[in-house]
């Protein structure tokens, strides 16, 4: 029982982080139509900025979220306002833009990853933070804190999407950008904000990951791959689907890892094959 409880709790934590990563990825694809292959690199960037602030000025990793999230948001906003908007305006059709923007994001992947390698090298690091077990349980406190942050970010983002003017504009733009424009939404601005928000979520996930797992400058791509799996699992473009998919994948991953660690990635793909056979459009797909 205790073992099962610990598996569920660590699974929930991983699931929370994966959900955060995937919601960000889904926001970029579902609204801005950019299949951002470099998404994971900004997780790495978030992790390393946290690590760097932690080792150089001894900044609490939770406080560093206040730095990483806005900084990476601005980077994302700027990337969209320059690079992706230009591609969007020159592409003859949406399908062409999706191809171009994916290639551009491949380029970003190498640029960001190699810049990080020049700065931080390629060895493994970890931020030692709250690394003590909670009394009576085997779960380290830092994991519970990270899970708490995921939940808070998820709830705040949900309220933002459903209660605010900009949040509603984002949902409307995801459904029909042309009509959203006719209602008065400045589409270019909303797309850049969505791209920035998506990256900021990657950055937050990265900061949390640095307190729980070992980090390397090459860590990004595996998270991008997982985000793609989660987003297909949850239904392309669906934010709720990405949340559910992330949590499901997190728990399954911990279950499998407990019994047979080498099987984790195989389990991901088995789940996705079964799901796509049963529900080709994903959990929340239409």
d(CA 186, CA 205): 29
Cβ neighbours for 253, distance < 8 A, ≥ 6 positions apart? 11, 14, 264, 267, 268
Q: Nearest distance from residue 171's CB to other proteins, in Å? A: 6
Find residue 125's DSSP bridge partners: 215
Task: Closer to other proteins by CB, 126 or 188: give it.
Answer: 188
Q: Nearest distance from residue 30's CB to other proteins, in Å? A: 12
Q: Hey, CA dihedral for 54, 67, 216, 116, is it positive or negative?
A: negative
Question: How many residues bind other proteins, per CB under 8 A?
Answer: 18
Task: Closer to other proteins by CB, 135 or 178: give it.
Answer: 178
3-state helix, strand, coil in the chain (%, to 5): 80, 0, 20
User: Hey, which residues between 168 and 187 contact other proteins (CB under 8 A)?
Assistant: 168-169, 171-172, 175-176, 178-187
Could you say which DSSP state residue 32 is in?
T
Task: Closer to other proteins by CB, 95 or 121: give it.
Answer: 95
Q: Are 71 and 49 in contact (CB under 8 A)?
A: yes
Determine the 3-state secondary structure of 135 from DSSP: coil
Q: Nearest distance from residue 81's CB to other proteins, in Å? A: 15
Binding-site member from 165, 261, 277, 280 for other proteins (CB under 8 A) = 165
Q: Nearest distance from residue 53's CB to other proteins, in Å? A: 38
Structure tokens at 178: 């042309």
Cα 174 to chain centroid, rounded: 18
Task: Closer to other proteins by CB, 186 or 260: give it.
Answer: 186
Per-residue x/- track, 80-99, other proteins (CB under 8 A): ------------x-------
Cα 147 to chain centroid, rounded: 14
Per-residue x/- track, 201-220, other proteins (CB under 8 A): --------------------
Select the span of 46-54, 56-64, 121-129, 161-169 touching other proteins (CB under 8 A).
Answer: 161-169
Structure tokens at 262: 């080498």
Does residue 163 belong to the site contacting other proteins (CB under 8 A)? no
Cα 211 to chain centroid, rounded: 16
Q: Nearest distance from residue 74's CB to other proteins, in Å? A: 23
Helix spans in 61-140 (H): 61-79, 85-90, 94-120
Q: Under the rule (CB under 8 A), what is the footprint of other proteins?
A: 92, 165, 168-169, 171-172, 175-176, 178-187
């Amino acid at each position: 029982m205790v073992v099962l409880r610990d598996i569920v709790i660590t699974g929930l934590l991983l699931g929370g982080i994966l959900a955060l990563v995937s919601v960000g990825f889904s926001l970029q694809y579902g609204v801005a139509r950019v299949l951002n292959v470099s998404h994971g690199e900004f997780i790495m960037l978030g992790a390393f900025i946290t690590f760097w602030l932690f080792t150089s000025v001894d900044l609490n990793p939770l406080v560093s979220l206040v730095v990483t999230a806005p900084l990476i948001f601005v980077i994302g906003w700027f990337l969209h306002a320059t690079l992706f908007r230009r591609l969007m305006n020159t592409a003859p059709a949406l399908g062409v833009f999706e191809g171009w923007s994916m290639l551009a994001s491949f380029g970003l992947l190498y640029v960001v990853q190699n810049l990080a390698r020049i700065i931080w090298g390629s060895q493994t690091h970890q931020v030692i933070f709250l690394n003590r077990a909670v009394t009576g349980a085997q779960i380290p406190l830092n994991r519970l804190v990270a899970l708490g942050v995921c939940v808070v970010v998820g709830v705040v983002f949900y309220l933002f999407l459903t209660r605010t003017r900009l949040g509603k504009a984002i949902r409307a733009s995801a459904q029909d950008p042309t009509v959203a424009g006719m209602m008065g939404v400045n589409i270019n601005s909303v797309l850049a904000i969505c791209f920035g928000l998506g990256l900021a979520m990657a950055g937050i996930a990265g900061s949390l990951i640095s307190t729980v797992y070992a980090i390397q400058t090459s860590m990004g791509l595996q998270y991008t791959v997982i985000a793609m799996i989660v987003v297909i699992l949850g239904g392309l473009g669906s934010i709720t689907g990405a949340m559910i998919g992330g949590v499901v994948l997190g728990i399954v991953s911990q279950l499998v890892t407990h019994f047979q660690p080498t099987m984790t990635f195989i389990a991901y793909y088995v789940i996705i094959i079964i799901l796509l056979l049963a529900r080709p459009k994903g959990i929340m797909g239409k």
